[in-house]
Structure 1
Amino acid sequence: MTENGKAFTGSPLFANRCAGVLLHPTSLPSSAGFSSGDLGKEAYHFVNFLADAGFTIWQMLPTGPTHGDLSPYQSLSAHAGNPDLISLDALVERGWIAADDPGLHSKERSERQAARQRAEKRFFASTQHDSQLHQQYQEFCQANATWLNDFALFLSLREHFHRKPWNEWPLEFVQRDTTSLNEAREQFAEQIQFYCFEQFVFFQQWQDLRSYARKKGIYFFGDMPIFVAHDSADVWAEQQSFRLDDQGNPLTVAGVPPDYFSEFGQHWGNPHYDWERMEADGFQWWLARLRSQLNLFDLIRVDHFRGFEAFWEIPGKVKDARQGRWVKAPGKALLAACFKEYHSLPLVAENLGVITDEVEALRQDFSLPGMLVLQFGFDGNAENPHLPHRHSLLDVIYTGTHDNDTTVGWYQSLSQTSRKQIDEYFFHAQDTMPWLLIKAAFASVSRMAIVPMQDLLELSSEHRMNMPGTTDKNWTWRFSWDQVPENLAVKVHKLLALYGRLAK
């Protein structure tokens, strides 16, 4: 397959027409009563639903450990898994948690962490007479030592210092004094072991689920934020790779100028990379980050891809995103290094928002599929790239994303003029929303179409996942199986067959 005259060297998932569902694992039903889904039996149930409906792709948001605001885009680590996704029921089956453990049915994160701590004690007791299990744990720790050791120490210190950001810790820890760090590793050895255990369990459960999904013909589509959180193990451990002062404070931070989602722009607060230093060592930090993602996913969305061409730089002490400026980034050199290391790199570029010709040229230089969102198409401009007649083979088509309103909510908010345009564009079709847009996504010429679970369930605005530029009531949506119509899988399967999107 070629795109713009270039051979496509990315994911084989684009070799045929296919479709998928966007649902973060935290949005799965929780059989244990916790306020978040996990990697347990409901995740397997969801894989079965995807397979029965004829889907091929399960797209997720970033799966790293979150801060208190639960945003998966501001993670404590670019490599680690979110321990909240660990299935406690699965730990009961392994005999590491008692069947009547109080954490099993608690909605409190602290109670569930306490249950995992009890599981850790039983786990290490069992490794004393199970050499194979002990070896698996040791091999995991050794294989991931380049990030795991710093991550476990970071969490231990963060708890010790009352969860303050690392740049507010005592200076010897901010500046990573070797003697102080070695003493801390001894002082917090038990906590460090617990955090390593959590990661071992997360990755074990993840790979079990991924293996099951693969047997069902389902592939995992992940999401890699271009920036990392300032208060993260990554920035603390690799300060030389970021633009920071001697106290660990960001000299400049990331965000975006005013756009479709926010009239005042967005101030994300992520520290910017020291691109010159990263380029000097061949972008080793990025190669390691991609290695971790490739161990989790079959396809990876690069969030805010345009930041590889130019990024919005806001002075570190300024809170108004409008006071930023565009600064060029070495995206071509970075992507060349990444594709040299990983020849068939399965990336998708998130190229939404105000995208320049230079950004699109960078994407096309590496034949990266981009994203198109049907909700963005109906502004009265026949040249709008989000309209179906403008799609190409290597676009990934969405009805909406995690940042959009649900399709029902979006349609209800439209003016009569916009509704009339949609009606005329789709030949006065009798389908109601969201199915009109879902069918348009499936019918698109593009090889891959993704539909948020909220749209499949015909849900309204109160079920949206995120409202960009806000901090309240985001990232907490979950569905329940009683919201799923009994014939939904059959209905979708027929549509995917009609539009040639069933697995070959």
Structure 2
Amino acid sequence: MMEQMKQRGSGVLLHVTSLPSSYGIGDMGSGARAFINFLAQAGQRYWQILPLTPTSTFLGNSPYSSFSAFAGNPLLISPERLAADGWVRLADIQQGASPTLDRVDYEAAEALKRRLLDVAWERSKDALDGDAGFAAFVRRHGEAWLNAFAAFSVLKERFGGAAWNTWPREYRDREGDALRALRAEAGPALRKVCFEQYVFFSQWDALREYCRGKGVSIIGDLPFYPTYDSADVWEHRDIFQLDERGEPLKVAGVPPDYFSETGQRWGNPVYDWGVLMRSGYAWWVERIRHNLLLADIVRLDHFRAFAGYWVVPPEEETAMNGEWETGPGESFFSVLRESLHDLPIIAEDLGLITQDVIDLRLAFDMPGMRVLQFSFGPDTGESVNSLHNHCVNSVVYTGTHDNNTTLGWYEDDLGDEGRARLGEYAGHPVGARDVVRQMMRLALMSPARICIMPMQDVLGLGAAARMNTPSMPQGNWGWRVPPRKLSPRVADGLRRMCALYGRC
């Protein structure tokens, strides 16, 4: 665990897409730096983000569904930085500038970023041979993931966006002759994909360095399962439970519980942990190592699956008729610790967690998550999410990206009994006017070393500002910080509250 994680501190959850900008979507430009300045002024030590991998309107723009577990999302590339770094001219980006909207316009942003990256490529492609930074980037990432991602991207465009398992057999099965022919005939297109990734990682590296200069650490997010139609599954079929044609033998999900009578059938392919173990978990070690190039700390989503995970036959429409399989457990984290020497990891251990999951987390001293919105049901006294049951080695949230905003939760989800219970817990009536501040105070006074608050709660916003509703496939991931809300007044108020509870 990194040394900073042993200190008491707080931070804000805000994805890059939600930042202010004039280009349809938050990006790595001036809006990101203004937000980092806001965090520093507010005494915050952490900026928590969502996955940075490519998104698709076809997949609902979810950062948890991507064509790659390694690549960066071109939509997050800043036009301002493109111009500042000399890839395009100011006139090029001025054509696409518009007032900052309160929602992400994914289609407009994609059209704009595609046009600008096309311009950047045309103006730079002949000079890349002399670009030492580009050459070093390709050497560092080529064999690990970049070459396969470039081939996957080019083939996906060639075949009209169709899933890789429907491609002609020679490409579906990655036959050597077919891939060599692709490299020969599509060299410029492959190189262009690599160039776009070089631009993304160059901008992110500069932004992360800016964070360091302001004393802000980034908490990244790593989904447990990759998307089936991804470069990762296409390249590494052997580490998943697939048949000879690449079709899933089993798919991922979670069993029926209090929240869903039929469980959740996610549909992702599940790992073949035996194959992974024999390789020394090479793909997973590289994946986490890669994510630690992007962030100082990584939140491991669906941590419980490292102990045991639910699998469902692919023909089933729900997750009811599944079964548990044993995860890699301590074997995996022992290899990971030996390879990385430090495990700056937050274990997402929400939901119905069994003792083997708890024991695994404790064995490697990883903090778990506690969410206050989950603590005011009938089991307040016993709930691990209740303030009085928090432990020091944990991370407390008012809510996560999957929760309603705190004000929206109070007004729409909590109910009369829950509101009464919250008032009893606080020792005084709590209403809509003060519930956000009260919940933030409870989180900040927690013994948990790290406290994270969604930006929506810092601003006291209602349900219209919710980032994601898990059961809703479309209409999520669109919220953005309203213009001029990152004010010195808000920053000073947050700093004072955090200082009161020893977090800055």
1:356 counterpart (327, 338, 354): 354
Distance 2:470 2:264 in 1: 8
Counterpart of 1:385 in structure 2 is 384
Match of 1:456 among 458, 482, 495: 458
Q: Distance in 2 between matches of 1:355 and 1:286?
A: 23
CA distance in 2, matches of 1:459, 1:263: 32
- Indicate whether 1:85 and 2:76 are aligned: yes
Structure 1 letter corresponding to 2:3: P
Tell me whether 221-230 or 475-484 shows the greater mean CA deviation. Answer: 475-484
TM-score by length of 2: 0.94
Match of 1:38 in 2: 27
| Partner in structure 2 of residue 56 of structure 1 | 45
Note the C-alpha offset of 1:497. 0.9
2:319 & 2:186 partners in 1: Cα distance? 39
Distance 1:186 1:158 in 2: 17
Q: Tell me the secondary structure at the aligned position of residue 252 of structure 2.
A: strand
Aligned with 1:16 (options 7, 28, 34) = 7
Gaps of 5+ in 1: 1-9
Q: Which moved more, 1:91-100 or 1:488-497?
A: 91-100
From 138, 141, 150, the equivalent of 2:135 is 138
Alignment of 1:427-466 (within 5 A): 427-428=427-428, 432-466=434-468
Q: Is the 8 A contact 1:262 1:468 kept in 2?
A: no
Structure-to-structure mapping, 1:204-215, within 5 angstroms = 204-215=202-213
Instruction: Pick the aligned partner of 1:96 from 82, 87, 90.
Output: 87
TM-score normalised by length of structure 1: 0.94
Distance 1:455 1:237 in 2: 41
Does the 8 Å CA contact 1:104/1:112 hold for their aligned counterparts? no
> 1:404 corresponds to which residue?
403
CA distance in 2, matches of 1:19, 1:471: 31
How many Å apart are 1:319 and its aligned residue? 2.2
Question: 1 CA distance for matches of 2:321 and 2:52?
Answer: 31
Partner of 1:303: 301
Q: Mean Cα displacement is larger for which, 485-494 or 84-93?
A: 485-494
Deviation at 1:104, TM superposition (A): 3.1
1:419 to partner: Cα distance = 0.9
Closer/same/farther in 2, CA of residues 223 and 390 from structure 1, 3 Å limit: same
By how many angstroms is 1:83 displaced?
Answer: 0.9
Q: Give the C-alpha shift of residue 433 in structure 1.
A: 1.6
Aligned residue for 1:72, secondary structure, equals coil
Q: What does residue 4 of structure 1 align with?
A: none
Cα pair 1:260 1:353 within 8 Å, conserved: no
Aligned to 1:328: 326
Give the letter for the 1:396 counterpart: V
Match of 1:115 in 2: 116
Asked whether the equivalents of residues 49 and 220 of structure 2 are also in contact (C-alpha less than 8 Å), the reply is yes
State the 1:260 CA deviation.
5.8
**Aligned counterparts, 1:60-209, within 5 A:** 60-68=49-57, 69-101=60-92, 104-105=96-97, 107-127=108-128, 131=130, 134-145=131-142, 146-209=144-207
Write out per-residue CA displacement over residues 18-49 of structure 1, whole angstroms, 9 at most, x where no aligned residue: 001011101111223x1x21111100000000
Give SS of 1:385's match: coil
2:285 match: 287
CA separation in 2, counterparts of 1:259 and 1:113?
43
| 8 Å CA contact retained: 2:35, 2:486 | no
Cα displacement string for residues 109-135 of structure 1 (whole angstroms, at most 9, x for unaligned residues): 13321210110122234547xx4xx11
Residues paired across the two proteins, number = 487
RMSD of equivalent CA atoms: 1.6
Distance 2:452 2:77 in 1: 26
Instruction: Label 1:137 to 1:71 Cα distance change in 2 as closer, same or farther (>3 A).
Output: same
Residues 212-263 of structure 1, C-alpha deviations (whole Å, 9 max, x = no match): 1111000000011111111111110111111111221111111112346544
Question: Any idea what SS the aligned residue of 1:482 has?
Answer: coil
CA distance in 1, matches of 2:321, 2:92: 52
Measured in 1, the distance between the counterparts of 2:85 and 2:450 equals 38
Equivalent in the alignment of 2:104: none
Equivalence map 1:193-342=2 (5 Å)? 193-259=191-257, 262-342=260-340
Contact 2:75 2:109 in 1 (8 A): no
- Which amino acid counterpart does residue 140 of structure 1 have in structure 2? F
Q: Distance in 1 between matches of 2:254 and 2:140?
A: 37
| CA distance 1:259–1:116, change in 2 (3 Å) | farther
Name the CA distance, whole Å, in 2 between partners of 1:418 and 1:291: 42
Measured after TM superposition, the shift of residue 485 of structure 1 is 5.5
CA shift for structure 1 position 358: 1.1
1:137-194 deviation per Cα after TM superposition (whole angstroms, max 9, x unaligned): 0011001012100110110000101111100111111111100111112222121111
Q: Percent identity?
A: 42
Whole-angstrom CA distance in 1 between matches of 2:56 and 2:250: 21
Matching residue's letter, 2:21: S
Q: Which amino acid aligns with 2:118?
A: Q
Structure 2 match to 1:481:
483
Aligned counterparts of 1:12 and 1:260: Cα–Cα separation in 2: 38
Amino acid at match of 1:135: A
Residue in structure 2 matched with residue 6 of structure 1 by the alignment: none
